Amino acid sequence: MNYKFIFKVLGYLLLIIGVSMLPPFIISIVSKQTDMVAFGVSIALTCLIGFAFTRISVTKIRIKVKEGLAIVTLGWIFASIFGALPFYLSGSIPSFVDAFFETVSGFTTTGATIIDDIEVLPMGILFWRSFTHWIGGMGILVVAVAVLPMMGAGGFYVFKAESPGPIADKIVPKIKDTAKILYTSYIIISLVEFILLMLGGMTPFESAVHTFGTLGTGGFSTRNGSIGAFNSSYITIVISIFMVMSGTNFSLYYDVFKGKWRDVIKNSELRLYLSIIGICVLFITIDMNIHLYGDLFTSFKHSFFQVSSIITTTGYTTFDYEQWTTFSKAILFMLMFVGGSAGSTGGSIKVIRILALIKLIKREIVKILHPRAIVSIKIDDKPISDDNLLNISGFFVLYMLIFIFGSILISLEGIGLMGSTSAVAATLGNIGPGFEFVGPTHTYSQFSSFSKLLLSFFMLLGRLELFTVIALLSPKFWKN
């Protein structure tokens, strides 16, 4: 294990985090609010420690699988610890455990919060809170891969460990160029949504904050009532569309740019993803039109928004969906285990894994009927290896085991079954709001410090796809 090189890369990561605090620091200075000192100290401390790490003398520049996993997991932990400093030092969140929870929730794009009244927070804190979504959405280390020449070809191990989905494909031969293409697409789509939200009546500040929350699929807002507080059908529809776009594999946008429309249209994961959204929106729209709203457009608007919000693991709300029927709430709970596409900013299990599992089940049924048949599993005419199928099956089983045992542990808080299960599903799937105890009108402030740290761990597990984090818990990992 090349420990010196690992900490040298972590040093550059801390410098990136420190520089990322400059925009909210400037906002604090311009708005003349009390959090400017907290940001100044946080930037200085983060950059000072980061610079000290970058001065570590390294004789062997090498990144292999172990180094890649260690850099990603430790990088996210370091980013969350130092990213929590503005919350804690400003007094916006007096408890460091709570500040750490909020920051992990931000970087992992979960959107779970312990803040009961966000409208009293300074503008700089509100901006930083949502900016962590945007940074973490595409990946904290993806920036390092794109800008640090020292990462070299070994940067692929970092990219692979951080990328959401079972298979991390390079768009172009060089991993550095792939990272740049992804971030270019990310920035362009962000700018388009920012402009559209301003045209809908949002201030530039609110447009930026909600763009970060949408593109990062995080869901932090400037209002206690989330998107519903704006009472605008235009804003609701715009954010709904961009949530769906954010849950789509970002490499497909590069295909669109290259004119490969046929490949995009035939993409099996995209078609299943849009089909799930369409079917769920249809069912909930009909249900809500009959039992609650009595108006087809209103039913569709809230249904499309909430389905998009949950399946992409964004967590924005326009209405307290706890008032919906059990049927509609059951659909939303099911979507918490689906998630967005691989290569998107969405969390949870991912549509590509659902698709592979469906094909695996279909193959097993065929083999029962035809024992001697050799049936290969293909997605978009590309065969999926048995190793990848085993990885996907193992991920699904491990995901469900963590969900079950995590729910049991959280139930020790004395909350109901639905509250404890949805709290774990919402944090492990990086969704944010759940049901009952952690519903859209509640926060996670009522949990004990132990449960907040446990749920923070679940958020990191979900964002880094389980195995990346769990591998580091094995003693064998740290042996040469």
Write the pLDDT tens digit of every residue in 99-109: 999 999 999 99
Strand partners, 379: 382
pLDDT in tens, 164-180: 666 555 555 566 677 77
Q: Is 110 annotated as a binding residue?
A: yes
| pLDDT reading at 452 higher than 90 | yes
Mean pLDDT (whole number) for 239-262: 90
Are the C-beta atoms of 108 and 178 separated by less than 8 Å? no
What is the pLDDT confidence band of residue 222, given thresholds at 50, 70 and 90? Answer: very high
Mean pLDDT (whole number) for 460-466: 89
Residue 148 has a pLDDT of 56
Residue 430 has a pLDDT of 92
Rounded to 5°, the CA angle 13-105-191 comes to 70
Amino acid at 216: G
Q: Is 313 annotated as a binding residue?
A: yes
Start-to-end Cα distance in the chain: 6
Mean pLDDT (whole number) for 377-389: 85
What is the pLDDT confidence band of residue 161, given thresholds at 50, 70 and 90? Answer: low
| pLDDT reading at 202 higher than 90 | yes
Mean pLDDT (whole number) for 127-132: 95
- Enter the pTM of the model: 0.91
Q: Please choose, from the candidates 103, 107, 126, the residue with its C-alpha nearest in 3D space to the C-alpha of residue 207.
A: 126
Residue 464 burial (CB < 10 Å; 0-12/13-18/19+)? buried
What is the pLDDT confidence band of residue 351, given thresholds at 50, 70 and 90? Answer: very high
Q: Where are the domains of the chain?
A: 3-246
Strand partners, 383: 378
Are the C-beta atoms of 279 and 211 separated by less than 8 Å? no
Q: Is 218 annotated as a binding residue?
A: yes
Q: Is 314 annotated as a binding residue?
A: yes
Tokens at 81, concatenated: 């610890």
Residue 145 has a pLDDT of 61
